[in-house]
Chains A and B, each alone.
Chain A
Amino acid sequence: MNFCDLTGKNILVTGASSGLGRATSVLVSKLNGRVCLIGRNEAALDETLSMMEGAGHIIISIDLCDYSRYDWLFGAVTAEFGMLHGLVHFAGVRKTLPVKVLKTESLKQMLEINLNAFLELVRYFTRKHVPDPEGAAIVAVSSVSALRGAPAMTGYACTKAALDGAVRSLACEMAPRKIRVNSIAPGHVETEMNVAVKNTLSVEAYNQIIQTHPLGTGQPTDVANLVAFLLSDEARWITGTTIFIDGGFMARS
């Protein structure tokens, strides 16, 4: 068997239409896993699918802030896949808002997709007969922003820190059912989320971001590699933790 082989595993990936979710879906398919690609933008989900290997993947286009559709969502996925082995929640938004303009409505929008959708997905994913009783893995996607401050990141940081808190208790609650729950905290990765940042910043300002990462900024495949490992049986003794993947960002004083 190959290291991190995902043969026979059915994995739900939210945010599969872009950036980190797309790279992870592609890698999972190369490791022989079957993926349910979730996002709102159907054309972009189709594009991800066209980059994948193997057969049997499915696309579900849904607004994850519409929690009333989760019953239908999990019904459709389990009807197609049977038991599930993994859930990765990449879908998220980041708003750069100094506290002066951080109105409750903006905070609510971030919380709904970054945190509430994750907890609601977990609630459905962990229902009886949904996860494989032999074992399953859940990965939340946090950020270095949960632990390192920066102006205008208060709201986003709250949503990501909340995810890290959630995975600890979820891990304890789910351990008897062999469901591992972890979060990953990426530093600056070059994805669509950051294209706007790159385009609007001066060269010096962008270089400053790069310099805060001793190994430079990351690529989506760097994050995908970690997530594939966490989904695999090789990570069977890892739960309730947050793994930083940040090119050394957190190591700096």
Chain B
Amino acid sequence: MEARFINMLCEVLERDLPIDFDDSLDELQEWDSLAALSLISMVDEEYGINIGSKDFENINTVGDIYKCIQTKLDHRQ
């Protein structure tokens, strides 16, 4: 699950350098509103989960996105 998520993020960001859970989104050069939208779409397609701009209010790092997906997945079960 973790690896799948990181792969997804790398695909969205087209990033050559490794991505870490502690990386702050603001400091990732490739992160912008379209990247956010792409990630939202991919998460929806892959996991059937909606992350919205409301969720992004509490998201600062790569790990926060992952946690958000996990929480929503747990909630669904």
The answer to whether B54 touches A196, judged by C-beta atoms less than 8 angstroms apart, is no
Measured between beta carbons, the chain B residues less than 8 angstroms from A127 are none
Q: Is A199 within 8 A of B41, CB to CB?
A: no
Residues of A within 8 A of B61 (CB): none
The answer to the question of A205 belonging to the interface, with a C-beta cut-off of 8 Å to chain B, is yes
Contact B57 A200 (CB under 8 A): no
Task: Please tell me which one of the listed residues A96, A196, A200, A202 contacts residue B41 in the complex, with CB atoms under 8 A apart.
Answer: A96
A202 — nearest CB in chain B belongs to which residue? B53
- Most interface-central of A101, A152, A196 (chain B CB within 10 A): A101
User: Within A194-214, which residues are at the interface with B (CB < 8 Å)?
Assistant: 196, 199-202, 205
Across the interface, do B57 and A96 meet the contact criterion of CB distance under 8 Å? Answer: no
Contacts of B50 in A (CB 8 A): 196, 199-200
B29 CB to closest chain A CB (Å) equals: 16
Q: How many chain A residues have a CB neighbour from B under 8 Å?
A: 15
CB-based nearest A residue for B52: A200
In the complex the two chains form, is B52's CB within 8 Å of A97's CB? Answer: no
CA gap between A98 and B57 in the complex, in Å: 21
Inter-subunit contact A151/B34 (CB<8 Å): yes
The listed residue with most B CB atoms (<10 A of its CB), out of A196, A199, A200, A205, is A200
Task: Please determine whether A201 and B52 come into contact, CB atoms closer than 8 angstroms.
Answer: yes
A202, B57: Cβ atoms under 8 Å?
yes
Chain A residues closer than 8 Å to B41, beta-carbon distance: 95-98, 101, 152
Q: In the complex, which residues of chain A have a beta carbon less than 8 angstroms from the beta carbon of B38?
A: 97-98, 100-101, 152
Chain B at the A interface: SS class: helix
Chain A residues within an 8 Å CB radius of B42: 101
User: Whose C-beta in chain A lies nearest to the C-beta of B8?
Assistant: A101
Binary CB contact string for chain B from 39 to 77 against chain A (1 if under 8 A, 0 otherwise):
011100100001111110100000000000000000000
A200 is contacted by which of B12, B14, B34, B51 (Cβ under 8 Å)?
Answer: B51
Cβ A199 vs Cβ B34 within 8 A: no
User: Are B37 and A205 in contact, with the CB atoms below 8 A?
Assistant: no
Q: How far is the CB of B69 from chain A (nearest CB, A)?
A: 14
In whole angstroms, how far apart are the Cα atoms of A48 and B52 in the complex? Answer: 30
Contact with B along A117-161 (1 / 0, CB 8 A): 000000000000000000000000000000000011000000000
Bound-state CA distance A10–B33 (Å) is: 47
> Please, which residue of chain A has its CB at the minimum distance from the CB of B36?
A98
Complex partner residue of A199 from B12, B14, B45, B52, CB under 8 angstroms? B52
Residues of A within 8 A of B (CB): 95-98, 100-101, 106, 151-152, 196, 199-202, 205
- Sampled A-B contacts (8; CB under 8 Å): A96-B40, A100-B34, A101-B38, A101-B42, A151-B37, A152-B41, A199-B50, A200-B54
Closest A-B pairs by Cβ, 7 of them: A200-B52, A98-B38, A202-B53, A97-B41, A101-B38, A101-B41, A152-B37
